[in-house]
């Protein structure tokens, strides 16, 4: 079966995707009641052999409410009136989600302000304070 490329190192097999065609809601006239044009795409991320463990974890977190407790990601596409365009849309959205999960976020290192910058801040504060004192209307008795 064909593989869907995600990144140069990650590709998922089409057998891992399950597509159900359902009736779409919303406008469309009689066509909406007759043709199952909406697509419900299911991808079992928790048990996918194509995904590395760290990508799998980030993917389930990124999917949010689209992921079930069992780790199955469900994407519903009903934007278009024909089945094939909705099917392509659902696949593109899944690929985008996996691509985002494949990106490794940079580890943030905590930094401290330098002594010189602290000193500059204190000096600026003193200067501002002196200026305020000069401007104030104090009457000494």
pLDDT in tens, 118-138: 999 999 999 999 999 888 877
Prediction pTM value: 0.68
**23 within a domain of the structure (yes/no):** yes
Q: Which residues pair with 73 in a beta bridge?
A: 43, 67
CATH number for the domain including 65? 3.30.160.20
Domain count, the chain: 1
Q: How far apart (Å, rounded) are the C-alpha atoms in residues 42 and 15?
A: 11
**132 within a domain of the structure (yes/no):** no
Tens digits of per-residue pLDDT, 11-50? 888 888 888 888 777 666 666 667 777 888 898 888 888 8
**135 within a domain of the structure (yes/no):** no
Residue 11's domain spans which residues? Answer: 3-102
CB neighbourhood size of 97 (10 A): 21
**109 within a domain of the structure (yes/no):** no
**121 within a domain of the structure (yes/no):** no
């Amino acid at each position: 079966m064909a593989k869907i490329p995600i990144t140069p190192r990650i590709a998922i097999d089409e057998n891992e995707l399950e597509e159900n065609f359902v009736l779409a809601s919303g406008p469309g006239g009689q066509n909406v009641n007759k043709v199952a044009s909406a697509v419900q795409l299911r991808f079992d991320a928790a048990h996918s052999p194509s995904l590395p463990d760290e990508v799998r974890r980030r993917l389930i977190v990124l999917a949010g409410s689209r992921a079930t407790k069992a780790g199955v990601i469900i994407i519903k596409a009903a934007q278009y009136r024909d089945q094939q365009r909705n099917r392509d849309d659902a696949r593109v959205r899944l690929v985008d989600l996996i691509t985002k999960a494949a990106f490794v976020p940079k580890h943030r290192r905590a930094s401290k302000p330098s002594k010189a910058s602290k000193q500059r801040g204190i000096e600026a504060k003193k200067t501002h304070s002196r200026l305020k004192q000069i401007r104030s209307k104090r009457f000494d008795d």
